[in-house]
Copies of this chain bind each other. A is one copy, B any other.
Amino acid sequence: MTPSPPTSSTGIRFGTAYYWEYQQSPDLERDLDLMARARIDTIRVGESVWSTWEPRDGEFDLGWLTPVLDGAHERGMKVLLGTPTYAVPPWLQRKHPELAVVRAGGHRIPWGARQEVDFTSPTFLQYAERVIRQVAGHHGGHPAVLGIQLDNEPGLHLIHNEPVFERFKSWLAERYGDVGRLNDEWGLAYWSHRLTCWDELWRPDGNTTPSYDLAWRRFQAELTTEFIAWQAALVRELVPEDRELTTCLAYQRPALHDAELSKHLTVTSGNAYYLPQDALARDSPVEITWFATDPAGLLQTADRMYASRRQRFWVTETNAGSIAGSQLNLPPYDGQLRQAAWALVARGAEMISYWHWHTLPYGAETYWGGILGHAMRPGRVYDEVAALGAELERAAGDVTGLTPDADAGFLYSHESKWALTFQPPLTLDGRNPDRDSYERVLATFYRGAVDAGLQVAFVSQVKRLPVLVAPALYCLADEPALELEDYVRGGGHLVMTFRTGYADEEARARAEVAPGPLRALAGVRYLEYSTLLEPVPLHGLGKRDVARHWADGLELEGAEPLARYDHHHFGRWPAITRHRVGAGTVTYVGTLPGRELTAELFRRQRPAGLVTAESPQVTLHSAVNARGERLWFAHNWSDRESTVTLTARATEVTGRRQPLPPGPLRLAPFDVRVVK
C-alpha cells in the first residue's frame, strides 16, 4: 500500500483514551463535558474489549458504544475506534487452548492478561475477522469516527508455536533455495550443524547460530506486519475511504519492524511514555525499558515515530498521571506535561492523546494513572491538561502541518539491533552481555547530538543532511556502504562508531580487514579490538573524558587522530579519527566516549537560528508550519530559571502570544516557550 499524504487536521489533535465500559459508575455526559472543557477533541475507544463486543461465541453486542460516539459527535469530538484482537475473550481461549503462544523453551503463556495467542493461526484469524467485520462494519461509518486502530501494540512475543516454526522452514526454503546454500551461508559445518533436508532444522529454542537468530527475528517481524496488513485490507473494505488506518506501536516490541509495518497504515501512531520528575529533568536515577528518560530519550521517541513513515504522527499514548505499576508512581512535576507535549509537537506529533481518561480501580493497570485519579475528580493533572489544551487551541494556526527540522540523520537498523541482541558488544557489569547494546550506543550518540544542539532525523537510508551518524551499524551490506561513500564525497559529515560495518547482512563477521566496506572511506583499519573492563582516560578535541566498554585497535590509513587513550597498551591506537574524503568528512569513533566528548563531536555542526541557548538544561528545536513559518521551541528542563537569547524580533506562540524584542528570554523552571 502506498503511504498516503499526511493527514490534514488543523492544529494539534488533543485526546485521551476513554474506556466508558470499564467504569463502576459511568457518567458519560459528565466525562465528555469535562473533556470538552479541557479542549480534548479526540477519544480512543474500544480496542480492549472483545468480550464486551462478543460476550459469547458468535453473539454480538455492538450498541453500547453508540452513546459514546453520539456524545462525542455532539461536542465536535472525533473518535479513534479500535479492533479488539489483542485481547481475546475467555470463551475463545477455552475453546482453542492450542492458540496460546509458546515461548522459547516450550512454555505456553497462560491466559490472564492480553496478547496471549498466536495471531498467525488460521483458526484465530477466522474469529478475528468475524469480530472486526461486526465492530468496524457497524460503527466505522459513524460521522464521529476519525479512523480505525488495528489491534494494539503488536509484536510482543517471538511466537514459538509449532505451526509457526513450520512456516519458518518454508520461509527459509524460499529464501535460500536448498539446504546446501543454507549450510554454506550460515557456516553449518561448525559443530556438526549441516542439514540434509529442511526438516532437520533445529528449533529456535536451542539455537546458537547468529545467522539463524537474525533470520528468525526477521521472520517474526514479518508475521506481525502481515497480521496488521491483513487487518488493514479487511477494514478498508468496511469503512468509508476517508477513515484513517493506524495502530498504536510500542517501539520496544521484539517482533516489530515499524517502517515495514507502517507501510500498511495511513498514519503512524505510537506510545510516547517517559519517566517524569527528576528522570525528565536530568540524568535519570532509574532506567526502565518501557520508558524514555531524560529529554533526549523523549525526543528520540518522537523522532523514531516520525521516521516510521517520514511523516507527522499521532501519539496515541503518553502519560498523564503516573504510569509504571504500583511500586513506581511518578506524577509529573508542574509544567512537565506541557513540556513533553510541546517537545512531541516540535518533532512532528499532530496528536497528543493521553492514556487514559480515568484511573482504573481494578485490573492489571490499577496503578497506571489517567487524567483523573481513582477519585474521578479533576485535580492537578487535569488542570495542567486543560491549560495545555487551551494553549494548543490558541496556537492551532501556528502549529498546523509542522515539519520538524533536522541537522543530523541517524541510520537506524533493525537488523543490527537484532544481531547485537544476540551477540552484544557491551557488558552490563563488566561481565554479562548487555542485550540493549545497540540502543545504548545509539542513545549515547543521540544524546551527544542533542547536547550539541542538533536536531535528529532517524533514517533507514542515506539522506542529504549535514551530519549522518551510523551508530553500531553492525549488519551492513555492500551496497549501502557505497551510498555512504557518495554521501561523504558530496560534502557530508559521516560519524560512524565501532561495530559499524563489521558484519554483513547475515550477521556474519566480515572476513576482511575491518571496517570492511568502509575501510577506505574511514581512512582507518583495525585487526583487533578490545573490551575495556574499566573506563580508560581519553583526551582529544580539547576535552578530557573517558572511554568505556570498547576500543578498536585503529591504524591510520589516511585519517588523522582526534582523540587518544591514556594507557600503556591502548595508547598506541587513536580512539577517534577524522578523514577528509572529497568534499566531506568521516569521523570514526572506536570507543564509547563520555558525554563531554560525544557532544564535542557534533558541536561544530550546530546551525545558527532565531534563538540561541547556552545552558545544558535548555534545548532548542525548530519546525516549519503549513504557512512556511519556522517555529522555535525552547525548553528549560530544570527546576532553576534559565534564559535563551532571541537574535531577532519574534512572536510568542505559547502563553500570551505577544511580540518579543531581540535579547534574553526568560524561562521559568520546567518552562517551555515557543516563538516564531
Contacts and interface: CB of A to CB of B under 8 A. Distances in A.
Contacts of A48: 190-192
Interface in A1-54: 19, 21-22, 24-25, 48-52
A334 B192 CA distance: 35
Interface in A200-237: 200-203, 205-211
Contacts of A194: 51-52, 55, 89-90
A379 to B, nearest CB: 4
Given A90-B194, A430-B286, A510-B361, A111 B202 contact: yes
A202 B196 CA distance: 41
A511 interface: yes
A195 B93 CA distance: 11
Contacts of A206: 109-113, 116
Interface in A419-433: 423-427, 430-433
Interface in A496-550: 506, 508-514, 527-531, 533-534
A416 to B, nearest CB: 13
Nearest to A59: B196
B209 A363 contact: yes
A508 to B, nearest CB: 5
A267 B43 CA distance: 61
A528 B380 contact: yes
Contact of A200 (B24, B94, B196): B94
Interface string A428-460: 001111100100000000000000000000000
Interface in A277-305: 277-279, 285-286, 288
A63 B288 CA distance: 56
A366 interface: yes
A113 B328 CA distance: 38
A374 B519 CA distance: 14
B187 A511 contact: no
A84 interface: yes
A88 interface: yes
A322 interface: yes
Interface of A: 19, 21-22, 24-25, 48-52, 55-56, 84, 87-91, 93-94, 105, 107, 109-114, 116, 184, 186-196, 199-203, 205-211, 277-279, 285-286, 288, 321-322, 325-331, 333-334, 359-367, 373-377, 379-381, 423-427, 430-434, 437, 506, 508-514, 527-531, 533-534, 553, 568-569, 639, 669
The 5 nearest A-B residue pairs measured at CB = A110-B206, A112-B206, A187-B362, A379-B527, A208-B364
Given A52-B192, A111-B202, 4 more contacts: A105-B107, A190-B360, A375-B513, A380-B527
